[in-house]
Chains A and B, each alone.
Chain A
Amino acid sequence: MNDRFEHIDNIFREGLGELNSTPTEDAWENIAGKLKENKRKRRLILLSRAAAIFAFVITLVTGYFISANINIDKQNALSDAAVEQKATDSNPDQPVKSTPEKNNQNINNNSTDVNPGTAASINKVDKRTPVKEPDAILINNNSTPAAIKRDNQSQPTGITEKMAVTRRIGNLNKAENKEVLLPTGQKTVNPFVSADLSDNNNIPVSDRNAVDPYLDEYAINALNEEKNKLRFQLSGVATPLYASVESRPAGERQSLAFLNAEPGDPEINKDALSAYTAGLKFSVSKGRRLSVQTGILYAKVDQRHQFEAFERITVSDESTAQNNTDRIISPSPAGAAPPRLGFELDQTGETSEQNDTEENTTRLNQYVQTITDDVEYLEVPLSMRYTVINRKLEVNVLGGMATNFLISGRRKTSSSAGIENSSDITVALDKVKYSTHVGIGFEYPIYEQLVFVLEPTLKYYMNSLESINQTKADPFAFGLYTGVNFSF
């Protein structure tokens, strides 16, 4: 049989192998226009990515300043309480109400009472400015002990002590209830247990009457310990995704759909796209603010499409009609199908079979065709997470990238005519996809180490779902990751 066909092969190979044909004159204009349009699209994508990064940075910076203000307010509240407590402790009969305004006035009015160095230090102290260098406290304490008057008449002393207490509380604030290491090697408990300064007994004797030089050591050690401690979190999350698909070459967003929207709904252009993600995330943080998060997630994207179609049944021989049937599925002219994930439908069926054999007879059946594409991915994200608000309700901003590995892609077709077919469309899809994401995370403690997590996240897929088809899908996706964190 091969010999029989070799001749026919040769005829066409020799006749058409080097076939030249002249395209229409406007072909180059179309190509140039398309190149220009693609360049513009790429520029837009680049700009949108830059805008996303910019927005992320702005969010990060804003978050930082918001959280810094919150911490300062907390320190001030604690220091006020501490100073009042100290004053009460020194002179129980004359409780001192210390306010920032009073303190500042007192510093100015009584500056002659104090050592100039101390005064200078005091003047530098702004209630709104956290003291950063622990040495400043030690200088006040060690170099000018005489200047610190401990009776309640001397307001500058009160301020100095307040400064010291503020400093220590500021450092110890993050290390409540933690053991700290003394310079002697002994361990002790943070003297500001739960910052409960209203109970005098909770403040060690050493701290009631004087500024203990060791306290700054406690603070430094506690802070260092806090900073160097690694924290781990394991999260189980799941999310529905809201996705948008762009089809090319039209360049218009073809379908927007939420979850299992019913096909046929004119609002969604007869397309339905549902997606969800579920899996485990693991995060490591050093310190309380910044953490790195990765994990493994299963993502599934389903897209359905329904349209009117007609079936052409070509029968080459009446006697073998049952066996020799070629089915061509074509969208009807009135209800032209929009581009789809996976493969194009046969849209040239009208003429494709007419010339096969002269004996062919053709029948047309009109029916409703439904196509469902199921695509599965394994997603490995890598995110940076920054804690903006560190209270009972923790607020984080996060951003990063994810790699999506294609697991499978299947297309199922079914029709009211009873024709059902299933095919593998994996080959038509990109094996690896990359996405960027930004989001905000909310965490609320449920029980001990368990924390409820809610993360609205915006994803942008950097390459299209498909690699070979004219129909391209570049979805943006919005997901509401919901789950539970376990900290250890």
Chain B
Amino acid sequence: MAQKALYELMSSKMFGVCVRYSNNHEDAQDILQDGFVKVFEKITQYEGKGSFEGWVRRIFVNTALEKFRGQVRIIATEDNLLKLNNIDQHDPVNDQLSEKELLAFIQELSPKYRVVFNLYAIEGYSHKEISDMLDITEGTSKSNLSRARTILQQKVAKYYHQERSVI
């Protein structure tokens, strides 16, 4: 069955996208299922422009956004007073951080920060594109990203300190 073959080919890669946008396995599983259903139902709309994997990935990102879009909006209104001072400026050593640890850091973020960070830092979207996708202002997008980075930096730094103290 062609659908199952495609699923087997792409499921692990797309599940990787799903877990990045989710904070638990169940949500990621839901996004994976909804995403593949969309892919199979809309596959005739793929016009051959760009890579097929890119098209599929985009569907999964959009599916993930649908799940968390409301959360990004509801909370974003209170998000303009970030305190960026007193942030520990450690240089984390990324070699010591596994995929699992990085993923755990991202999943610990609240949806508003996790989604924007994923879109900007990993997917490479601009703030303008993010603001359009999530229906938030560019300022909110920047603010959420900044906050996400700060939190992640703290987590990485904390991890680095713990590792160093163990050594």
Contact = CB atoms under 8 A, between A and B. Distances in A.
B156 A8 contact: yes
Contacts of B92: 7-8, 11
Interface residues of A, number: 60
A67 interface: no
A326 B89 contact: no
Contacts of A206: none
Contacts of A38: 37, 41
Given A343-B70, A344-B67, A328 B33 contact: no
Interface string A330-365: 000000000000111110110111011100000000
A9 B152 CA distance: 9
Interface stretch (A127-135, A223-231, A421-429): A421-429
A259 to B, nearest CB: 27
A421 B73 CA distance: 11
A interface SS class: mixed
B66 A325 contact: no
A356 B110 contact: yes
A19 B103 contact: yes
A27 B32 contact: yes
A146 interface: no
B83 A328 contact: no
Interface string A366-392: 000000000000000000000000000
A23 B77 contact: no
B66 A348 contact: no
A32 B5 CA distance: 12
A32 B16 CA distance: 20
Contacts of A18: 13, 16
Nearest to B80: A323
A329 B75 CA distance: 9
B interface SS class: helix
B69 A11 contact: no
B152 to A, nearest CB: 6
B117 interface: yes
A9 B110 CA distance: 17
A324 B32 CA distance: 35
B37 A16 contact: no
Nearest to B108: A355
A408 interface: no
A19 B99 contact: yes
Contact of A348 (B4, B12, B27, B154): B27
A9 B154 CA distance: 13
B167 interface: no
Given A23-B29, A352-B111, A345 B74 contact: yes
A474 to B, nearest CB: 16
B2 interface: no
Interface in A426-469: 427-428, 468-469
B158 to A, nearest CB: 9
Residue among A13, A14, A31 facing the most chain B CB atoms (10 A cut-off): A31
Interface in B117-144: 117, 120-122, 135
B152 A12 contact: yes
Contacts of B59: none
Interface string B1-38: 00110011001110111111001100111001110110
A266 interface: no
Contacts of A112: none
B94 A20 contact: no
Contacts of A8: 92, 121, 149, 152-153, 156
Interface of B: 3-4, 7-8, 11-13, 15-20, 23-24, 27-29, 32-34, 36-37, 40-41, 62, 65-67, 69-71, 73-75, 77-79, 81, 83-84, 89, 91-92, 94, 97-99, 102-103, 105-106, 108-111, 117, 120-122, 135, 146, 149, 151-154, 156
25 contacts: A1-B146, A4-B89, A5-B146, A9-B149, A11-B94, A12-B152, A16-B122, A19-B103, A24-B29, A27-B32, A32-B3, A34-B33, A317-B83, A320-B81, A320-B83, A324-B83, A327-B75, A344-B70, A344-B71, A345-B70, A346-B70, A348-B23, A348-B27, A349-B71, A355-B109
**8 A-B pairs closest in CB distance:** A343-B70, A19-B16, A352-B110, A9-B121, A346-B71, A355-B108, A427-B135, A11-B94
